Structure 1
Amino acid sequence: MTMIQTKYQETVNYPPEFAVRLAQTAADVRQAQALRYSVFVEELGADGQLIDHDARLEMDCFDAHSEQLLLLDMARRDGDRVVGVYRLMDGGGATSAGQFYSQCEFDLTPLIGSERALLELGRSCLHADYRGGTGMMHLWQGLAKIVRDRQIEILFGVASFHGTDLEAMAPSLSFLHREHLAPSDICVRSNTHEAMDRGAVLDRVAAIKPVPALIKAYLRLGGFVGDGAFVDHAFNTTDVCVVLDLARMNPRQAALYRKRDDLDV
């Protein structure tokens, strides 16, 4: 597998046991793909042409053009220290791959046409033992350093509801469309358009509750959703495109991405 050459190979350490860094070797990438297999294939029922079921690796053609941001538990003794993953693709990676992964599902013309610095986020997952703790925050802090160093202006990516029953998700999708639709200059649209505005939101609390935690977290950071959902039958998900424009963040939201001495490496 082709490895992306990058100067961002520093390790950010978090006491007492976590570290965050980009994958540096083919073995690192395989550990990331093994965790992705455990989460996306075994837990969520995903499938795809390039998934290696024998080796238990979730992989696709975009991996060779992307970087894997890893959360490692340095205290583990079983050798499987990768307990969290974010797949990152910048404009150079998209040029090499021929497109961003999200373009399989969404028309990114407003983002690409803006000529602003883009970073696509994907394949985000945590080992089951590390959910509900600080693992995702550690990953975000590592991501924030990359955003600062590369002067990224817009983060975006596909985020998923588990399952493909649009009617069951109708209140949540309608809530996202009505409350968090992206401004027109950064509003992407699904290629196979499934309307998200599926009726009045009669119970706001009930509509919010099923929204996946990762999507809620992006919204708390000031993120938006694009126009329309995409049903991914292979992955057994219903996808929305989340867009985070750092220029539109308020100071409190942007604090994670401002330079902090305690995160410098």
Structure 2
Amino acid sequence: MIRLKKGRYVARTAQTPSDLRAAQALRARCFGLETDSDAFDDRSTHILVRRVADDALVCCFRMMPLTGATISHSYSAQYYELSALEAFDGKMVEMGRFCVDPDAADPDILRVAWGAMTTYVDDTGVELLFGCSSFAGTETADYLDAFAMLKARHLAPTRWLPRVKAPKVFEFAARLRHKPDAKLAMLRMPPLLRTYLMMGGWVSDHAVVDDDMNTLHVFTGVEIGAIPPARKRLLRAVAG
């Protein structure tokens, strides 16, 4: 069981049905839904980040263990054709439904969440962390510099590249030709995706247009063995 206390926040593994209901309620609020639960919840470990002062839930996410043989059963596989990753020889975990209470904006929340994730990865021997990284809204014009930056610097290796499966996608790697404005690109990049990229993460060559969730998202992977040593030290310092 994970329990990590840093400053004003504590991250721990959900233990009870009420813990899960609290996470689902926060997700629904963050995603603008009436409810948010699915079949993947029962197959996942849920991490909750609470504020010590009042025990308020400020962040949650779930971790679902998989292998190459079972990656087709992941949440992401609903939207991406992932057969290339069936050849990945190692443990995987899909991190999903990551959300932070918009009324509790504090960079320390994200740091504690990543510390808990690092503990999970180290404890279970995970070699590939992956998930869907979401941009708010479905207007691709809002994020052209960010997508151009992903094309220029962060596309998945060819051997792992997800192929198109969803009916509505933005194939940014094929369509964009301009050089990105680096500053604007990073300003428009979602915080979770920025963190993945700082760890050496890579993305699909297309974004899924998800009208139900009102998001654009890219498949994102991080090979644990390829994380820069300095970044690993920072993450483990938080987790320690």
Flag whether TM exceeds 0.5 (same fold).
Answer: yes
* 1:192-226 deviations in Å (ceiling 9; x for gaps): 35311222125332233211121112111211111
Q: Does 1:116 align with 2:94?
A: no
In the alignment, which of 40, 63, 67 is matched to residue 88 of structure 1?
Answer: 63
Alignment correspondent of 2:199:
221
Provide the rounded CA distance (Å) in 2 between the counterparts of 1:98 and 1:180: 23
Provide the rounded CA distance (Å) in 2 between the counterparts of 1:122 and 1:14: 23
Q: Is the 8 A contact 2:118 2:239 kept in 1?
A: no
Letter in 2 for 1:81: A
* 1:132-164 deviations in Å (ceiling 9; x for gaps): 330011011111111001000010100111111
In the alignment, which of 147, 150, 168 is matched to residue 176 of structure 1?
Answer: 150
Structure 1 pair 200/263, CA: closer, same or farther in 2 (3 Å)?
closer
* 1:145-190 deviations in Å (ceiling 9; x for gaps): 1100100001010011111122332232122112111112332233
SS across alignment from 2:107 = coil
Provide the rounded CA distance (Å) in 1 between the counterparts of 2:186 and 2:15: 38
TM-score by length of 1: 0.81
Q: Is the 8 A contact 1:70 1:86 kept in 2?
A: yes
Alignment correspondent of 1:99:
73
Q: Is the 8 A contact 1:230 1:239 kept in 2?
A: yes
Alignment correspondent of 1:154:
128
Unaligned runs of 5+ in 1: 1-8, 42-46, 48-52
1:249 Cα offset (Å): 1.8
Runs of 4+ off more than 3 Å:
none
Provide the rounded CA distance (Å) in 1 between the counterparts of 2:235 and 2:91: 15
Q: Is the 8 A contact 1:147 1:257 kept in 2?
A: no
1:263 Cα offset (Å): 4.3
Alignment correspondent of 2:222:
244
Structure 1 pair 115/75, CA: closer, same or farther in 2 (3 Å)?
same
Unaligned runs of 5+ in 2: none
In the alignment, which of 156, 175, 186 is matched to residue 208 of structure 1?
Answer: 186
Structure 1 pair 40/182, CA: closer, same or farther in 2 (3 Å)?
same
SS across alignment from 2:170 = coil
In the alignment, which of 23, 31, 39 is matched to residue 32 of structure 1?
Answer: 23
SS across alignment from 1:235 = coil
Structure 1 pair 253/103, CA: closer, same or farther in 2 (3 Å)?
same
Cα RMSD, aligned residues only: 2.2
Provide the rounded CA distance (Å) in 2 between the counterparts of 1:256 and 1:184: 29
Structure 1 pair 87/180, CA: closer, same or farther in 2 (3 Å)?
same
